[in-house]
Chain A
Amino acid sequence: MILVIGWFFISRSILMWLLNSMEDYSQFFSLSVPVRLAISFLIIGSMSLVSVLWYTVQDQQEIEKRKRDAEQLAKEAELYKLRQQLQPHFLFNSLNSINALIGSAPQQARMMILQLSDFLRGTMKKEEQQWISLEEELDHLQLYLDIEKVRFGHRLSTFIKNETIGMKLPVMLLQPVVENAIKFGLYDTTDDIQINIAAVNENEQLMISVSNPFDLVSLSPQKGLGFGLSSIQRRLYLLFARKDLIKTETEGNLFITKIFIPQI
């Protein structure tokens, strides 16, 4: 309002000064005061309305962006935590095995240190990437399984079959599945056991199945998805917003975990 009156008086005095000599014109000028007032009021009003709207939208976008950033950050933190599945006891038990080998079989001790180093380096490197090729992931898992083979002597054998070409998967997704298979298949049993990992292309989805035997006596049938697997389910949900990408089944004393990874 003040702006309108201010503008009106300033323009009036400028025009008055310019049109001092022209009587008719200044008369018309005085007569059209209400109309011109209304017009200037409308112009300034709509301008301020537009600017108010514009700033509100800006603020809104800023808030939205911050919210999205916060959500993204929380999601990444959760994913990071879920990826941190490497169990410290695996590391300490491996070091204990190396300690034993140093006395009895120094060459083997050296080999195990190198395997463990390669495995740990691979694990750390992978923290930075989002997706890797299945071939790379399987090589990494082979290191892990080789270390377990040293720890448990001849009890563990593994069979890995990859029928896919050029498929990818999120980092550290398969690792916890295999760790889970080792936990129930190897740590909780006393017989010789075999762990099978098979990858196939199923309707352009990467399907990986991991099977391990388990001990029927000491494992509660009500257990369902162990902790390891429920965290994988959570990760798959965060990545793909789907809950049907992990399936488990039992066949006698075999436990089979299947994960499906859409290729994007």
Chain B
Amino acid sequence: MKAIIIDDEPLARSIINEYIQSFSQIDIVQECNDGFEGLKAIMQHKPDLIFLDIQMPKITGFEMLELIEQPPAVIFTTAFDEFAMRAFEAHAIDYLLKPFSKERFDKAVNKLIAQPKLNEVALPALLQSPSTAFSTERIVVKNGGKIKIIFLHEILYLQAADDYVKIYTKEGSFLKNKTMGFFEATLPTHQFARTHRSFIINVQEITRIDPYEKESYLAILKSGARIPVSKNGYGKLKAVLGL
């Protein structure tokens, strides 16, 4: 079995390395300093298991996981207990609070060894479940081979595109493997409104709202884009704008 350790502290990686010695069937194929490196290593090695820290430079462990289509089994290792809820929503194999004992570590790894297929159903489901305890500050997307971090104020609007959501910014559009429902639930409600089945608008970008057909409207953005607003969506938009 192949495993990768992703943690920005060298000593935190070395304790995992030390503990894993007793599992002869598991090989640590690489150790990574941050989420970018982790992402590359996962693509390259296709590991069965990753030990993942959450708070890291560049992108968090959660954000890194979102960028992987078929994530490996994950054991989170972190000093922050406030992320536990989210980690279990992500159906992680386990969640180790630093510092952890060898016994606790063994228990986590044994879960995977006992049930190697455990993560196959769990992880993709997790990544679509909006967590109530978590609000998004930024969205991390893959753009070609590069990783792009989009801050919320840069978003003009979002559009549904089959299994993806297309995020429009001044720099162009980016695809994200999420649902409209996910974004509707996680984006701050004072800034974003779902005006239509297929559209979510950053209300700060709206210059005016014109009547369109019977009981529907068009929102005109600063960029000139014209976004449909349904009857239902008009109500939501008015609520966000405080009209």
Contact = CB atoms under 8 A, between A and B. Distances in A.
Nearest to A88: B79
Contacts of B100: 96
Interface string B1-39: 000000011111011001000000000000001100000
Interface string A197-210: 00000000000000
Contact of B9 (A152, A188, A189): A152
A187 interface: yes
Contacts of A100: 11-12, 14-15, 18
Interface residues of B, number: 25
Contacts of B59: 218
Given A96-B12, A101-B11, A218-B58, A190 B98 contact: no
Nearest to A95: B99
B12 A93 contact: yes
| Overall SS of chain A's interface | helix
Contacts of B181: none
Contacts of B33: 190
A208 to B, nearest CB: 26
B11 A96 contact: yes
A217 interface: yes
Residue among B11, B15, B79, B153 with most chain A CB within 10 A: B11
B55 interface: yes
Among B34, B80, B98, the most chain A Cβ lie within 10 Å of the Cβ of: B98
Query: Interface residue tally of chain A, by bracket?
Result: 20 to 34
Q: Is the interface of B mostly helix, strand, loop or mixed?
A: loop
Interface string A81-96: 0000000110011011
Interface in A157-211: 187-190
B79 A89 contact: yes
Interface string A210-250: 00000101101010000000000000000000000000000
13 contacts: A89-B79, A92-B79, A93-B98, A97-B11, A100-B12, A100-B15, A104-B14, A150-B11, A187-B55, A190-B34, A190-B58, A218-B59, A220-B153
Interface of A: 88-89, 92-93, 95-101, 103-104, 150-153, 187-190, 215, 217-218, 220, 222
Lowest 6 CB-CB distances: which A-B pairs, in order? A100-B15, A92-B79, A96-B98, A96-B99, A100-B11, A97-B11
Interface of B: 8-12, 14-15, 18, 33-34, 55, 57-59, 79-80, 97-100, 137-138, 149, 151, 153
Given A96-B12, A152-B10, A188-B58, 12 more contacts: A88-B79, A92-B79, A95-B99, A96-B99, A96-B100, A98-B99, A99-B99, A100-B12, A152-B8, A190-B8, A217-B58, A218-B57
